[in-house]
């Protein structure tokens, strides 16, 4: 399905509680380990932190295997974003994970979504400092 801006929506209607989003971010923060077990190969985590595409149309943001890569307060950070403004932000060097939720209320334009994410990342950057 495409919205009025021509953006393709391919969501799967997955719903996560903020505590589950945080847990997922913590798995990434811990290089794929959960409760003492390696549940995601460390090599995959490492690879997903390396830019696969830099031509994302988003200044200062690269893309890699489901994660967007940027810098927050000078630190390498990765974030996953979802429908309407949900986000998981991982900043490994300072051992921080942030989660954000938002009302879905319908598909938003790419510009509106990018503006929401820019505000969330700015807030996160202030928290990392």
pLDDT band at 2 (very low <50, low <70, confident <90, very high): very low
pLDDT above 90 (res 100): no
pLDDT above 60 (res 67): yes
Sketch the domain layout of the chain as residue ranges. Answer: 18-128
Domain 18-128: give its CATH code. 3.40.710.10
The DSSP-derived string for the chain is -B-TT--B---------HHHHHHHHHHHHTTTEETTEE-S-HHHHHHHTS-SBS-SSSTT-EEETTEEEEEETTEEEEEEE-GGG-EEEEEGGGTEEEEE-----S---HHHHHHHHHHHHHHHHHHH-
pLDDT of 113 reads 67
């Amino acid at each position: 399905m495409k919205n009025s801006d021509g953006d393709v929506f391919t969501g799967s209607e997955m719903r996560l509680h903020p505590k589950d989003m945080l847990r997922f971010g913590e798995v990434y923060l811990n290089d794929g380990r959960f409760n003492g077990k390696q549940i995601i190969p460390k090599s995959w985590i490492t690879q997903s932190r390396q830019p696969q595409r830099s031509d994302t149309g988003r200044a200062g943001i690269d893309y890699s295997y489901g994660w967007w890569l940027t810098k927050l307060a000078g630190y390498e950070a990765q974030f996953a974003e979802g429908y309407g403004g949900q986000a998981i932000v991982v900043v490994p060097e300072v051992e921080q994970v942030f989660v954000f939720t938002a009302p879905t209320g319908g598909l938003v334009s790419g510009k509106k979504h990018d503006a929401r994410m820019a505000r969330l990342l700015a807030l996160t950057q202030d928290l990392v400092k």
